[in-house]
Amino acid sequence: MIELNDIEQMAYLFGIPSNTTTAGSMTTFEFPMFGTKVVFLDEGVTTAGTGDDSWRIVNIMPSDSLEEKRIEVIWELMRAGYMHYLRTEAPRTFKELIVNKGWDKRIINKRLELYGDDPKYNYWRDLNQWALKESSTYILALEPGFFDFLLDEEK
């Protein structure tokens, strides 16, 4: 069971500026630097519309899995450049995530999932399949920004 306190702690641990607003049974954590909103809703509320499609929005309900939602928020932040931000502004946190917490393989696998068999991603797919077999420290030594970005899913 997710509580508002869990979301507040998650937002704090991301280490980026955020604004928090509460309206009725909805609390919104806004990360303007990355154009992302995390909306905590009461059970029974289906979605939160902001009236602005230009924001990335992750809706969270008390019955959701905190770990799954944390990962979903990180994917949305990453699409907006969060890993690049971490690598340049918090290098120890970045290295901890990539080298010790398994985000290297998680990012590569997510990229491969997004690329699928689409021919326009042949080079990127081959590069990531190669990277899947290498250690993250080796990849970072060759290309420090390798894990910085994640493609947007096509709409």
- The answer to whether residue 148 sits within a structural domain is no
Q: What is the pLDDT along the chain (155 residues), one digit of tens a residue?
A: 899 999 999 999 899 999 999 988 899 999 999 999 999 998 776 665 555 679 999 999 999 999 999 999 999 999 999 999 999 999 999 999 999 999 999 999 999 999 999 999 999 999 999 999 999 999 999 999 999 999 876 54
In a domain, 147, yes or no: no
Residue that terminates a domain, selected from 80, 96, 128? 80
Tokens read off for 9: 């702690």
Same domain, 73 and 90: no
pTM across the whole model? 0.87
Q: Please state, as a whole number, how many other Cβ atoms lie within 10 Å of the Cβ of residue 129.
A: 13
User: What is the domain count for the chain?
Assistant: 2
Identify the domain containing residue 138 by its residue range: 83-142
Specify whether 90 is located in the same domain as 65. Answer: no
What's the confidence (pLDDT) of residue 155?
A: 43
What residues have CB less than 8 Å from 99, skipping those under 6 apart?
Answer: 136, 137, 140
3-state SS string for the chain: CCCHHHHHHHHHHCCCCCEEEEECCEEEEEEHHHCEEEEEECCCCCCCCCCCCCCEEEEECCCCCHHHHHHHHHHHHHHCCHHHHHHHHCHHHHHHHHHHCCHHHHHHHHHHHHHCCCHHHHHHHHHHHHHHCCCHHHHHHHCCCCCCCCCCCCC
Same domain, 11 and 61: yes
